[in-house]
Structure 1
Amino acid sequence: MRTVVTHYRDLARWDVKSFLLFSNIGADHVRLGTLLRKKQNQWNGTDDVPMLSLHFGGEFSQRESNQIKGQLFVADKGDIIPDQYSRALFTAEFPIYEIDTSVIHPVYLQLYLQSSAFKNLINSIVSGASGRKRVKPSDFESLFVRVPAMNIQEGIVNDWHKAQMEVHGLKKSASDLESSIDRFVLSELGIQLKEPQKNDGAFVVHFSDLERWGVDFNTINAKTARNIKGKYKSKKLFEITRATCGGKWGDEKPTKNSTVLKILRATNFDGINNINLSNIAERAIKTSEIPNFVLKKGDIIVEKSGGGEKTPVGRVAFIDLDIHYGYSNFLQKISIVEGVNPKFVYITLGTYHSVGFTKYLQMNTTGLRNLIMEDYWSVNIPIPPLLKQNEIVAKVEIIKKRIIDIQNQVIDKLQSAKADIEKAII
């Protein structure tokens, strides 16, 4: 049982929670409302400014379109927005504040507002039932933050920037290693990348030479991607495929003729980490279809529909475990013939996607990219002797392990830095 004594004049509102929130306030704590000034710089509708959303956990995400009904407001550099943006748009539901930088360092304030202790305070003033939750600006402005001397704030910010620089260096090392995989695979297979050729203005092609109705499809770069050559004899993908099966989405609820099965989706593809087995969907699949449908160790799954605005479709994942899972209708399962290492094929197809070959093996529909499967099955794969395939796989696995080790270092560094910062500011 805890007793709290407060003057009536210091009550922010008529409830116990209001003064429990402020019971740990010290001499160096300042009310947010005195540090921030609300601004409403309305967007003129013409300037090219990215639109962001702020999520409850403190993360920002960019919206696909600025075509939002209602007024939009501009936040500038110096307001609390991600470093990579000089300006950003927000809807009226996100108040924008200017910071009194003579009293508090903007980055220090950002770190303070994203600390777990302050998030707990925010959670205690949330209003709204299940679904969308809100924080009243007046309640937010009534909260207190610790504001030490400016030199102490700057020291905390410098420590954070130092940690960020170390993390940036680690991420660059991981990125360089990831790029080295593609260079290594292409070099080992004797595949040479040509510099992208730009067509300035018009180009002429005979109607008889058109392979398909599409300008991009008939460029030199596209034809090169569909006729890959290396130092080993090549085989078409379909020639080394023992079996294949399209994915299924099934039904939400099972019947007497169906069985609930865990279903992998493209969202479970996890780059270097291959597959993330968290957040797995469960769907009811016809029991009679499961034997040929279920994934087996050594299978490759290809993203045949999806992609993104800047990412071509055609990502691949490898089933390295004995798992009784299915896969969604946006994916295609490929089982490789005996005598060819399936992980070698997976690595090669992954490199083709990374270097942009699959860009020329797709077509776009409304908001979706689709692999042209006829072309994908006909893609050339240089097939070295099995011993060489195994050697390539082993070396790529070593590089991937180094990347994963670095990724774990990044996680540890960020967690350690955040813990140190929170201890310093709270």
Structure 2
Amino acid sequence: MENRKIIEIGEILEKANTGLDAIKRAPIVEYDSGIKCLRIQDVSQSKKFEDWGFTEVSENNFGKFQLKKGDIIVARTGATIGVNRFINEDINAVFNNGLIKLKVNENKCLPKYLFYNLQSYNYWGYIDGISGGTSTQPNMQINALLKYEIQLPPLPEQKAIASVLSSLDDKIDLLHQQNQTLEALAETLFRQWFIERCPEPVEGEAKEDWEELPFSEWINETVGGDWGKETLQDEFTKEVYCIRGTDIADLLIGIPTKTPIRFVKEKKFQSIEPKEGDIIIEISGGTENQSTGRAYFINNEIKSLFGKDLVFSNFCRLIRIKDSNYSFFVYLYLKYLYDQDEFFNLENGSSGIKNLDYKSLLFENKYKMPKEDLVLKFNDQVSNNYKKINQNKFQIQTLTKLRDTLLPKLMSGEVRVKI
């Protein structure tokens, strides 16, 4: 390609190194030390800075391992090898030894240009090829990563390419921020009306007058899921997306991108297809630090986002709501309980896999419940929030597809940008 060189990324780096030992030199502490530590799970789960753990490090180690503007952080061990994150500004944080920091020589390459190269299909194919270790703990060597080849155009073209892709990412990030704000407003209103009981919106009704009732007041039944088959076979002919606990987590913040395609029996599909207003809740898979119980509502707009019929795995349970106008109330009540860590008390099972006692949660345990008219008023108040959230998700989906289509074409030179 004219004016483009093929280089190994090691040729454009000032430095590549792993981080601090997570036990001795950068342990996570329970108090605010003023310094955060970036770990693999923070990168793979795209956690915000405020959600990273605090650490204690020596002044010398902080100076050597501080995260600074333009750094690219890459996971080198575990199931998410190759996942990476761009550091936009100098921050009071270090990184641990499960990660690699790439420091780019900016006289040769723009950090953002390299970062976008590390989002391409070519990159992920390369990562698969160099991942070693065991099936339970894969890993990669720094030297192998540094041999990854990219096309390197002149700096002005790098800047133009990065600008196009960054513009799309900025629009996507803005929509995500809007959705976080809209969701937070709905959660705040829920707490005011049903937990804190702010008097203004309830016309003098006293919380003490509410009855203690189970969630079954608002639901008809629960339905078990079906994992189906990986391929088309025998009676398993209905092609569907199958929602798992991890897909519920993705729905809470955006759009699931890795929901697997499965095949189920047509008759089974008819009985377990989510309907308008239903809620899917994760009932198996909790860990010591994270309980089961993540939940999300389903409506026709959510189903349209997937673009294919939906079912849910047998690690989840469908809650069939009596009236779709109760859905946001039940969903936000369950989310409130989850955020309060209430579901840890309803789990059983081994130390490895936890199971939620959903029968106790929904049919036996009792909670202060409002009258129906207040639930309907609440639905009227928050339904527009979630309509806007879903509209934003459609825009995010469109912009993401555009970015993912453009990225390899820009990197290969198939599409050129004006300089």
2:192 paired with 1:192: no
More displaced, 404-413 or 271-280? 271-280
- Normalising to structure 1: TM-score of the pair? 0.56
1:273 and 1:103 map into 2 onto residues whose CA distance is 35
Aligned equivalent of 2:12, options 24, 35, 58: 35
1:191 CA displacement: 3.1
- Give deviations 1:173-206, integer Å, cap 9, x for gaps: 111001112233344x443179xxxxxxxxxxxx
More displaced, 375-384 or 37-46? 37-46
In structure 2, what residue type is equivalent to 1:191?
Answer: I
2:363 paired with 1:382: no
1:399 CA displacement: 1.5
1:274 and 1:156 map into 2 onto residues whose CA distance is 26
Aligned equivalent of 2:260, options 273, 279, 298: 279
More displaced, 407-416 or 318-327? 318-327
2:293 and 2:171 map into 1 onto residues whose CA distance is 33
Mapping 1:78-157, distance limit 5 Å: 79-81=71-73, 82-83=85-86, 86-90=94-98, 98-114=103-119, 119=122, 141=147, 143=149, 145-149=151-155, 153=158, 157=162
Is the 8 Å Cα contact of residues 35 and 103 (structure 1) preserved in structure 2?
yes
Distance 1:173 1:185, change over 3 A: same
Match of 1:222 in 2: none
- Normalising to structure 2: TM-score of the pair? 0.57
SS, match of residue 97 in structure 2? strand
Aligned equivalent of 1:266, options 241, 245, 249: 245
**Runs of 5+ consecutive residues of structure 1 not aligned to the other structure:** 1-23, 54-58, 63-73, 195-227
SS, match of residue 238 in structure 1? helix
- Give deviations 1:32-86, integer Å, cap 9, x for gaps: 3542467566865622265549xxxxx9569xxxxxxxxxxx9874653123574
2:332 paired with 1:355: no
Match of 2:32 in 1: none
Is the 8 Å Cα contact of residues 293 and 326 (structure 1) preserved in structure 2?
no
1:83 and 1:301 map into 2 onto residues whose CA distance is 33
**Runs of 5+ consecutive residues of structure 2 not aligned to the other structure:** 27-36, 47-63, 74-84, 88-92, 199-205
1:402 CA displacement: 0.8
- Give deviations 1:316-345, integer Å, cap 9, x for gaps: 3456579998654433444455xxx2441x
2:269 and 2:123 map into 1 onto residues whose CA distance is 49
Match of 2:216 in 1: 238
Match of 2:394 in 1: 408
Is the 8 Å Cα contact of residues 274 and 311 (structure 2) preserved in structure 1?
no
Distance 1:310 1:403, change over 3 A: farther
Distance 1:280 1:390, change over 3 A: farther
1:141 and 1:240 map into 2 onto residues whose CA distance is 58
Larger radius of gyration: 1
1:275 and 1:30 map into 2 onto residues whose CA distance is 34
Match of 2:31 in 1: none
1:252 and 1:154 map into 2 onto residues whose CA distance is 43
Is the 8 Å Cα contact of residues 224 and 272 (structure 2) preserved in structure 1?
no
Distance 1:179 1:88, change over 3 A: same
Mapping 1:211-250, distance limit 5 Å: 229=207, 233=211, 235-244=213-222, 246=224
Match of 1:366 in 2: 351
2:285 paired with 1:306: yes
Match of 1:47 in 2: 25
2:382 paired with 1:396: yes
In structure 2, what residue type is equivalent to 1:237?
Answer: F
Distance 1:398 1:146, change over 3 A: same
Distance 1:87 1:275, change over 3 A: closer
Distance 1:51 1:173, change over 3 A: closer
Distance 1:61 1:185, change over 3 A: closer
Is the 8 Å Cα contact of residues 223 and 272 (structure 2) preserved in structure 1?
no
1:281 CA displacement: 3.9
RMSD of aligned alpha carbons: 5.6
Using the aligned pairs only, state the percent identity: 18
